[in-house]
Amino acid sequence: MFLTPLIALVLAAVPTLGQLDSTTAATTLPGTWSSGSMAVRTGAGFAHPANESFTYPKTTGISYSFTSDGFYEIARYRFVSNGTVPQCVTGVINWAHGTYVLQSNGSITMVPFGDGYQQIQDPCAAQSNFIENYNDTELYELWQIFLDPVTGYKLHLFQFDGSPLAPQFQVSATPNMLPTQSLRNVSGSAPATTAAVTTRDLLATSGGQRRWSVSGTIGVVTVVFGAGLATLLL
């Protein structure tokens, strides 16, 4: 298994947790997982595909759900800072679902149904607040589940480049997901329609969370999200 120094660092940082063997972990993966304060959750309270809108969580985070028969759903609400232009904080709220495969080399591939979408707010861009289709196949190079004696099961996902996502707590062993099928019509590669959808000011809602700065942050990981390389502040 290919381990980047970053992964090794993360693993070294959690020596008191019991890591499950892969068979046990695979049977434990199904359910709903959520990072941080667990305000972001997959399922009916987050994305409304029929009108391409979102119910905005109180705080940022990520949530993944998996069924035992191969379906997944992802809900993400994040602020991404541009290392080159630190004042250009971008807000991204993203939803996708589809089918996943646990690969024999320990990775997970997630192939979306094609009805995913996201809202991006970038005050420094020409188009500063818009909704677009999101249909990226995602590869997670490594995943691990730890049993924390205090907080229970914790899912660690590592992206295709080895960078870790924020650890996610198990919200429930039963996945809370929208129906596992395409939930809106997407015509070809045309941009998602924005008709009748009120896009909220994502950044204005960040409130106290804008204290983040590139230099003073502890949990900084580099992620590739959509088309761009950016820095995710945990």
> Which lies closer to ligand NAG via its Cβ, residue 141 or residue 171?
141
SS3 (DSSP) at 209: helix
> Which lies closer to ligand NAG via its Cβ, residue 62 or residue 186?
186
Question: Which tokens sit at 57?
Answer: 């969580």
* Interface with ligand NAG (CB under 6 A), residue from 11, 197, 223, 224: 197
How far apart CA 213 and CA 202 sit, in angstroms, is 18
x/- site string to ligand NAG, residues 138 to 167, per CB under 6 A? Answer: -x-x--------------------------
CB–CB of 35/168 below 8 Å?
yes
Interaction residues for ligand NAG, span 101-140 (CB under 6 A): 103, 105, 107, 109, 114, 124, 135, 137, 139
Those residues whose C-beta lies under 8 Å from the C-beta of residue 188, and which sit 6 or more positions away, are none
DSSP 164: B
β pairing state of 18-19 and 138-148: antiparallel
Kindly state the smallest distance separating residue 160's Cβ from ligand NAG, in Å: 8
Those residues whose C-beta lies under 8 Å from the C-beta of residue 201, and which sit 6 or more positions away, are 121, 129
* Interface with ligand NAG (CB under 6 A), residue from 82, 128, 129, 199: 82
- Give how far the C-alpha of residue 139 lies from the chain's centroid of Cα atoms, to the nearest Å: 12
Please count the residues of this chain forming the interface with ligand NAG, following the rule CB under 6 A.
Answer: 26
* Interface with ligand NAG (CB under 6 A), residue from 186, 202, 233, 234: 186
Kindly state the smallest distance separating residue 95's Cβ from ligand NAG, in Å: 13
Kindly state the smallest distance separating residue 212's Cβ from ligand NAG, in Å: 16
Those residues whose C-beta lies under 8 Å from the C-beta of residue 68, and which sit 6 or more positions away, are 27, 30
Q: Applying CB under 6 A, does 215 fall inside the site for ligand NAG?
A: no
Kindly state the smallest distance separating residue 16's Cβ from ligand NAG, in Å: 28
Q: What length is written for the chain?
A: 234
Interaction residues for ligand NAG, span 42-61 (CB under 6 A): 48, 51, 53
